[in-house]
């Protein structure tokens, strides 16, 4: 099974990734989940998948999650360092980086440093067959080596 960590698992991209995991049992193992303060949404996938490491925004969110689901045997981190733990867990082969805003930059960077594959959630962008990003028109020659 392919180990999977999801940053931003309570958002639209994260919940859809969890649906895909559920649709293909035996192909993926959720080893890490990172959510902010939406512990009501986070509790259900934690109970269902029992990941090895979880991250929430802060101590009050961790306490609220502990009231909703049994956290025994799970590593629960908080804040940016907790997200880095989720992103760099040794059993995670792939990290889905769908956290909103700058909060996901450091964990994604650390995951890439650790050699994990990373997929960035971009809602609304189609990856249909033959689709390629348009070449940016820039006076600085982006992409590198172009012009």
What was the pLDDT predicted at 78?
Answer: 96
pTM of the model: 0.78
Domain ranges of the chain: 2-120
Residues 126, 129, 131, CA angle at the centre, nearest 5°?
60
Token pair, residue 16, equals 């859809």
User: Residue 79 belongs to what H/E stretch?
Assistant: helix 79-87
Residue 3 pLDDT > 70, yes or no?
Answer: yes
Nearest to 101 by CA among 5, 11, 15, 40: 11
User: What order of strands is seen across the sheet that includes strand 94-97?
Assistant: 75-78, 53-56, 28-34, 2-7, 94-97, 117-120
pLDDT digits 0-9 by tens, 81-132? 999 999 999 999 999 999 988 888 899 888 888 887 655 555 444 444 554 5
- pLDDT digit string (tens) for 129-145? 554 544 444 444 445 55
CATH number for the domain running over 2-120: 3.40.50.720
Cβ contacts of residue 115 below 8 Å, gap of 6+? Answer: none
The rounded distance, in Å, linking the Cα atoms of 32 and 37 is: 16
List pLDDT tens digits, range 53-93. 999 999 999 999 999 999 999 999 999 999 999 999 999 99
- The two tokens of residue 47 are 């109970």
Specify the pLDDT at position 124: 46
- The per-residue pLDDT for 100 is 86
Q: Which is it for the CA torsion 87, 93, 96, 97, positive or negative?
A: positive
For residue 24, report the phi and psi dihedrals to the nearest 5 degrees: -125, 70
Cα separation, 77 vs 57, in Å, equals 9
């Amino acid at each position: 099974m392919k180990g999977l960590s999801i940053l931003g698992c309570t958002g639209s991209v994260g919940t859809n990734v969890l649906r895909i995991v559920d649709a293909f049992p035996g192909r993926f193992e959720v080893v890490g989940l990172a959510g902010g303060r939406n512990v009501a949404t986070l509790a259900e996938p934690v109970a269902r998948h029992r990941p090895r490491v979880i991250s929430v925004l802060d101590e009050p969110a961790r306490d609220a999650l502990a009231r909703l689901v049994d956290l025994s045997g799970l590593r629960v981190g908080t804040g940016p360092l907790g997200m880095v733990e989720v992103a760099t867990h040794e059993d995670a082969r792939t990290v889905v980086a769908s956290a909103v805003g700058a909060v996901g930059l450091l964990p994604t960077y650390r995951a890439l440093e650790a050699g994990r594959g990373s997929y960035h959630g971009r809602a609304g962008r189609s990856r249909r067959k033959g689709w390629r990003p348009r070449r940016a028109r820039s006076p600085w020659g982006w992409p590198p080596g172009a012009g």
